[in-house]
Amino acid sequence: MAEIQMPQLGETVTEGTITKWLKEVGDEISEDEAIVEVSTDKVDSEIPSPVSGTITEIKAEEGDTVDVGAVLAIVGDGDAAPADDGGETEDADDEPEEETAGAEETAEPDDDQADDEPEQPAAEAEEPEPEPDTDDEPEEPAAEEPEPEPEPEPDEEPEPEATPDRKPAASAPSGDSEAMVLSPVVRRLIAEHDLDVSSLSGTGAGGRITRNDVLAAVEGGQAAKAPARADEAPAPAAAKKAAAPKPARVAPATPGESSTSVAFNNVRRRTGEHMVRSKATSPHVFTVMEVDLEGVETVRQAHKERFKAEAGISLTYLPFIARALVDAIDEFPHMNASVGDGELIVHHDVNLGIAVDLDYEGLIVPVVHGAQDLRLPAIARTVADLAGKARNRKLSADDISGGTVTITNAGASGTLVQLPIINQPQVMVLSTEGVTRRPVVVTDASGNEAIAIRSMGNLSLGWDHRGFDGAYAAAFLRRIVDILEQRDWEAEL
């Protein structure tokens, strides 16, 4: 028997949602054969099987969100019989949630565990009896009685069993959601944004509501809300008058209001968490140098039409800067490294990450693997291909993992200086700034000075002071500038 586990789909990814099983219990599978589709905040990927055999049990159903390392399926040898409940969708759904319930009895529940409570079986009747206060209970017949019965009625739902330190999960914003199979993350998002489940259209398997469906509703400004959240069940009129108003999320602004609330999407939330960790981890230092890109501009103008006709992409400044950075690392290898436990881990391959904006909704960093072996045209084509896949949400897990250095290309907006945050666990990040035509003093081969109009820009380097000092970082950036200014770029094309 072998277990198929949820793989690490990116350096900052901690969980994924099962979107589609490509195989069923009893199917024969081969090693490296795709068996399930998984969606994360960054990529949608097909997960291959690490072994050959027969699927005997599926542990996570479509729509479930599982942590990295969690068991997705059990694979036996070719003659293995399927598990008794392997083909029953409802049983498979219940199984992991019963395990979660057991974990909740021994540890403080987090948000995701609390969200799982409504789908637990009635076997939890061994929980402490309901507290007398019923104001916070969901809408049920028992909630309308002046005092709760000593024991729950047989047809009651599990929610009234919640104790004061385990408040009822806000995973069922409306009665309709009780009959729906929703993953914990979907339930949490619905509750966070006070959405009415009945107004959401599902695009998942069998019409199931997915995380993307909820985010699309939020970003589209859906105003439909549930009649009441679980902790806001109707109370007697006198109690309503006496109770202080609950803090509520700010609804979309109407005429006369001065602000509105925009919820963070998952990419925005995860990016923020990653950047906060980076600032807390690395002592950031920033070095900025001016660069004369007149030589690069001359070559660009001479070859841009031919390059676009042959490669199908525009010839921008970015591949020139990327090529210069990769070559400079050959002389300053400690820039292509990460900090370990009391040591600097220097990487041999330069895996170049390029930050890509996703229509102002977040960014992602696809990686050009083995960039040290690519010349300028190959770098340009690879970067353009990865950027296109990123914007179309077609990146694979390999496309966003393994980066060793990163470039963030803010210069397209005409920036002067930007102070980028290091993409952990790397030790440097380079920001390209805007290029402008302006007069500068230039010196010819004979040492004569003159004023000329040149294409000038800045390069901003953020680096980790744990790995090296300012002299090393400044010499590295100086080398990038020298390569850009002095190389015969005509020969590269």
User: Which residues are known to be catalytic?
Assistant: 465, 469
149 and 222 Cβ atoms separated by less than 8 Å: no
The token duo for 254 is 């109407």
DSSP 16-57: EEEEEESS-TT-EE-TT-EEEEEE-SS-EEEEEPSS-EEEEE
3-state helix, strand, coil in the chain (%, to 5): 35, 20, 45
CA angle 454, 457, 459 (to 5 degrees): 145
Strand pairing report for 405-409 and 428-432? parallel
Cβ neighbourhood burial of 249 (10 Å; 0-12, 13-18, 19+): exposed
At 334, give phi and psi (nearest 5°).
-70, -10
Q: Give the residue from 400, 408, 426, 406 showing the smallest Cα distance to 334.
A: 426
Q: Give the residue from 350, 341, 356 showing the smallest Cα distance to 386.
A: 356
Tokens 């100086």 locate to 478
Strand pairing report for 344-346 and 337-339? antiparallel
354 and 386 Cβ atoms separated by less than 8 Å: yes
Counting DSSP H helices and E strands in the chain, the numbers are 11, 18
Find out whether the peptide bond into 118 is cis, omega within 30 degrees of 0: no
428 and 373 Cβ atoms separated by less than 8 Å: no
**Helix or strand run (H / E) with residue 323:** helix 318-331
Across the beta sheet with 65-67, the strand order is 44-48, 34-39, 15-21, 65-67
Cα separation, 379 vs 308, whole angstroms: 14
356 and 391 Cβ atoms separated by less than 8 Å: yes
Residue 474 CA neighbour count, 13 Å, CB half? 4
Q: Give the residue from 94, 77, 73 showing the smallest Cα distance to 23.
A: 73
The token duo for 27 is 């199917």
